[in-house]
Amino acid sequence: MLVLLGIAVVVAGFVARINPLLVILIAAIVTGVTAAGAPGVDARALAKAGVDTLAAFGDAFNDNRYFHITWLILPVIGLLERAGLQERARMLIARVKAATAGRLLLSYLLVRQATSALGLTSLGGHPQMVRPLVAPMAEGAAEVQAGGDLPDKVRFRIRGMSAATDNIGLFFGEDIFIAIGSIVLMVGFLEQAGIIVEPLQLSVWAIPTAIAAFAIHGARLLLFDREIRRDLAARDAEAGQ
């Protein structure tokens, strides 16, 4: 039962709002040390368990590090934002009269899920797509509905829904791709348990889940337009009193 102390460390760290990476690191060390803390084990063995845990972290980092194109994209996105990328995106979508925040996010959900299913997970994301493009375009569509500026409540809800749409599209789309890390992890875990499963089998069974996720969140996005209209109507009613 001592190995469960790692869970207690995670809970306590999150409650105290300590840096999540530091919390996870400490929890892993606690778990590794307590796993070797059987009755009769001396301090030297416990110290070795701690060193072995840190060594496992180092090996994992060294074996799995790679140069990701995201680190090339982020500086470019920063320069584009400084040059007015968000404003241009908002102006562009404002010209499309039929566009609404919900419809635009529904289109992005479809694209994000489809590209993730093909393994192109880096095409979207919060820093390189949602913040500079998707959220400003959704806000611009809502501003056309409002006929002017949006209340802060509506603006922040649009930003939150934009980020959630990206998360859902990625999460339920990437498992369809046969060579994604989550599929490899599940195949390895099941194999250790004596269950032999082909990666293709897991990918195929991820398709119904992805379709269900698209239908459910798509319905939420269409209802989101109604919520925006209701909030705008409430604001106008308050302003008229």
- pLDDT value at residue 72: 58
Render pLDDT for 208-220 as a digit per residue (tens, 0 to 9). 999 999 999 999 9
149: region left, alpha or beta (phi > 0 left; psi from -120 to 50 alpha): beta
Residue in the structure block whose two tokens are 């393994």: 119
CA proximity to 28, closest of 61, 57, 58: 57
Output the six-digit token pair for 19: 């840096």
Render pLDDT for 51-79 as a digit per residue (tens, 0 to 9). 777 677 666 655 554 445 555 566 666 66
Report the alpha-carbon distance of residue 113 to residue 126 in Å, rounded: 15
- Does the model's pTM come out above 0.75? no
Secondary structure (3-state) at 150: coil
108 close to 134: Cβ distance less than 8 angstroms: yes
Split at pLDDT 50, 70, 90, the class of 165 is very high
Q: Compute CA 179 distance to the chain's CA centroid, rounded to the nearest angstrom.
A: 19
Q: Compute CA 83 distance to the chain's CA centroid, rounded to the nearest angstrom.
A: 27
113 close to 169: Cβ distance less than 8 angstroms: yes
Which string of b and e fits 209-219 if b means at least 16 CB within 10 Å? ebeebbeebbe
